[in-house]
Chain A
């Protein structure tokens, strides 16, 4: 099965690849060769032990054409922040939707373009961004992503520029026959002391079957600051494979928040490399899954430099037959002394059939570091439930309240208010008695 699926994408590649410039052509060719060699990951590989991608291989997703599908989706409207000005970039089934996008006035020197356009107008910039992340194509999905590299955005912020208006990337997929795949590549480069708020929103039409295969690479150079929100609410029949790579130079600061609420099969890889002294990162994550959803979060934090710090907290709420995987690796490299790294993963299992495989890992090669990690798995606390009920709160409301409070430990830390409020409202909406407990969180 795997072989046939691989051939399918190689044929797709041949169908699509055409008007490439030389370097791009060879980049894509080399990626498709890698893909031909590696194919899709399987459960014999340690990093994919708990996530079986065979459902993806059974399907033959095709690349969306150049023409934009018309969207009349409440899904897209729901992503916009009412009353908030953003630089909106919208993609429908992976294709840039100019008429749905709106760019406010950008500070001088800032480039925010669809990748297709950037390849024409700023090929050197694109090339530079790509070259900062060598070796990506070892993973089959990433190799495919490179092989089909066309869609996504280029976002460049020059030295010293603070982009005050948030950049909001919206990726919407809808029902198509045959089902489509979006290979998205977002390239972000922040100059020295630049700052930015970036929101990546992924969603799909209800019950639409499709695949999103996205790669976002972010480079924060010296003294820059980024707030990054990746909000995944794909269709329950959607497949979402994503890789986020963050490279941090000296004194840069990144706040990353990854929320997974949708998707039938979800895999998020997040790789952070702290490459300069004083670099700081916080990774917050939340996954809420029900039914037969499968959500896998793999994170790697590489402390390459001394005096770097990382804090990571992922939380999960699983009901029904949902299954989640958390694998978080913190690697403190040899020369990285005086590192501060804290990591935790906490899970709430609401049904006997839900499952979590959690594996926090620490790998320390330096001797003067402060590191901690831990994982918990539990049900709702009976003492808390009884306490609330003894205060006249009915059982179902009490349960909802405790579930929400558990998830809100992650959400409440989000410093960008519109995202925080939308998530609180979305998470509340998933719970019984939302109206009643809404009162508690105001």
Chain B
């Protein structure tokens, strides 16, 4: 589904990613862990097409197409979803209408019929239960006045509605208390399927107790320095990033 080869990228002439490789197959859940400043969020941003980054070398292929040539909106229509680390407040733009426009843009792109208001509301009601978002959050402006936890839940809610093929969650767990974390994890788990791939970008192992990944990668200084199964996350938690970094350097 997603193939990243030797990716080098910079922002404001500062090199962040320095030869990153990653293969994600359909149905897999990958966790990318790393210390602050390792390039985790840069990777998530580049995959979603955030302007401002320069890819200086390497390739990113999504479903056998060059992802880097696609606009952010085209990526979204092709099934990529980024859950933002910091969801943006957009005063004056209604949450539910954004979601409807987003869903219909995706459906139209796939050659499917656009949903009418009734069917859309039915879908919304169903998915609201999943991540326990409140009705009044829907009628408000996008993320406006939402608490930190509500914003993250809203991201997962959007993801549940849009049903992406490739979901990238950028530190969706940070800043959540344990109850909110469980809700978010449940939402993510419910979306696991053989056709859908999920990339969890996270600083802590905590989320991985609830969303158990197939693969764990350690990102440090712009490269993946170690990959393994879910046990790698536990080892990281116990021993810290420095230890893994030393091991990788020694190997």
Contact of A409 among B48, B75, B88, B92 (CB under 8 A): B92
How far is it, in angstroms, between the C-alpha of A402 and the C-alpha of B51 when the chains are bound?
18
CB distance from A432 to the nearest CB of B (A): 15
Q: Which residues of A contact B97 (CB under 8 A)?
A: 439-442
A389 touches B90 (CB 8 A): no
Q: Are B48 and A388 in contact (CB under 8 A)?
A: no
Contact B90 A391 (CB under 8 A): no
Q: Which residues of B contact A381 (CB under 8 A)?
A: 88
CB distance from A437 to the nearest CB of B (A): 9
CB < 8 Å neighbour of A440 from B84, B88, B98, B105:
B98
Is the CB–CB distance between A393 and B98 below 8 Å?
yes
Contact, CB under 8 Å: B90 / A387: yes
Which residues of chain A are near B73, meaning CB under 8 Å? Answer: 389-390, 392-395, 398
Chain B: interface residue total (CB-CB under 8 A)? 34
Could you give, for residues 71-97 of chain B, a 1 whenever the CB lies within 8 Å of some chain A CB and a 0 otherwise? 111011100011010011011111001
Judged by a CB distance under 8 angstroms, whether A408 is at the interface is yes
A265 touches B (CB below 8 Å): no
The one of B51, B81, B106, B158 that contacts A386, using a Cβ cutoff of 8 Å:
B51
CA distance in complex: A386, B84 (Å): 11
- A441: which B residues are within 8 A, CB to CB? 94, 97
Do B51 and A405 touch across chains, with their CB atoms under 8 A apart? Answer: no
A440 touches B94 (CB 8 A): yes
* CB neighbors of A among B24-74 (8 A): 48-52, 71-73
From B75, B100, B101, B102, residue with most partner A Cβ within 10 Å? B101
Which residues from B are CB-within-8-Å of A436?
Answer: 101
User: Interface readout for A366-386 with B: 1 if CB under 8 Å, 0 if not?
Assistant: 000000000000000111101
Q: How far is the CB of A47 from chain B (nearest CB, A)?
A: 33
Give the Cβ gap from B1 to chain A, nearest Cβ, in Å.
Answer: 18
User: Would you call A391 and B49 a contact (CB within 8 A)?
Assistant: no
Assess the A409–B91 pair: CB atoms within 8 A. yes
Measured CA separation A395–B162 after assembly (Å)? 19
B82 CB, nearest partner CB in chain A, Å: 5
Query: With an 8 A cutoff between CB atoms, is A401 at the interface?
Result: yes
Q: Which of A391, A405, A439 has the most CB of B within 10 A?
A: A391
Contact status of A389 and B76, CB under 8 A, knowing A395-B71, A439-B97, A440-B97: yes
Q: Which of B89-126 contact A (CB under 8 A)?
A: 90-94, 97-102, 105-106, 109
Q: Contacts A390-B72, A391-B158, A393-B105 given: A408-B92 contact, CB under 8 Å?
A: yes
Is the CB–CB distance between B88 and A402 below 8 Å?
Answer: no
CA distance A130 to B76 in the complex (A): 63
- For residue B98, which residues in chain A have a CB less than 8 angstroms away from its CB? 388, 391, 393, 440
Q: Who on chain B is nearest to A382 by CB?
A: B51
The distance from the CB of B163 to the nearest CB of chain A, in whole angstroms, is 12
Q: Which residues of B are found within 8 Å of A401, using beta-carbon distances?
A: 93
CB neighbours of A409 from chain B (8 A): 91-92
Residue of B nearest to A386 (CB): B50
Report whether A390 and B93 are in contact in the complex, using a CB–CB cutoff of 8 Å. Answer: no
**Chain A residues in 8 Å Cβ range of B49:** 389-390
Given the contacts A393-B102, A393-B105, A440-B97, A388 and B90 also touching, CB distance less than 8 Å: yes
**B109 / chain A contacts, CB cutoff of 8 Å:** 392
In the docked arrangement, what's the CA distance between A387 and B102, Å?
Answer: 11
Q: A38 vs B102: C-alpha distance in the bound complex, in angstroms? A: 59
Give the docked Cα–Cα distance between A37 and B97 (Å). 59
Given A384-B88, A386-B50, A392:B93 Cβ within 8 A = no
Name the distance in Å between B78's Cβ and chain A's nearest Cβ. Answer: 9
8 Å CB contact of B77 from A392, A395, A398, A406: A392
Contact present for B90 and A405 (CB under 8 Å): yes
Q: Chain A, 329-357, contact with B by CB distance < 8 Å: what is the 0/1 string?
A: 00000000000000000000000000000
Within the complex, what minimum Cβ distance (angstroms) separates B85 from chain A? Answer: 12
CA distance A439 to B106 in the complex (A): 16
Nearest CB of chain B from residue A114's CB, rounded to whole Å: 40
The verdict on A387 contacting B88 (CB below 8 Å), with A392-B73, A394-B73, A401-B93 known, is yes
CA distance A345 to B101 in the complex (A): 31
Task: List the B side residues contacting A387 at CB < 8 Å.
Answer: 84, 87-88, 90, 142
Task: Map CB proximity to A onto B197-234 as digits: 1 under 8 Å, 0 otherwise.
Answer: 00000000000000000000000000000000000000
A404 at the interface (CB under 8 A from B): yes
B62 to chain A, nearest CB (A): 15
Cβ < 8 Å to A, chain B residues 121-137: none
Question: What residues of A have a CB within 8 angstroms of the CB of B50 in the complex?
Answer: 386, 390
- Distance in angstroms between the alpha carbons of A439 and B120 in the assembled complex: 14
A185 to B195, CA, bound (A): 71
- Closest chain A residue to B90, Cβ basis: A384
Minimum CB–CB distance from A255 to chain B (whole Å) comes to 20
Residues of A close to B100: CB separation below 8 A: 439
Residue on A nearest B84 in the bound complex, by CB: A387
| B71 neighbours in A (Cβ, 8 Å) | 389, 394-395
A392/B76 in contact, CB under 8 A: yes
Instruction: Specify which chain A residues have a CB less than 8 angstroms from the CB of B106 in the assembled complex.
Output: 392
Tell me the minimal C-beta distance from A149 to chain B in angstroms: 43
B77 near A404 with CB under 8 A, answer no
Chain B positions within 8 Å of A440 at CB level: 93-94, 97-98, 101
Name 12 interchain pairs, CB-CB below 8 A, sorted by A. Answer: A384-B90, A386-B51, A386-B88, A391-B76, A391-B98, A391-B162, A392-B77, A393-B105, A398-B73, A405-B91, A439-B97, A439-B100
Other contacts beyond A382-B51, A387-B90, A392-B102: 8, CB < 8 A: A386-B72, A387-B84, A392-B73, A392-B109, A394-B71, A395-B71, A405-B92, A441-B97
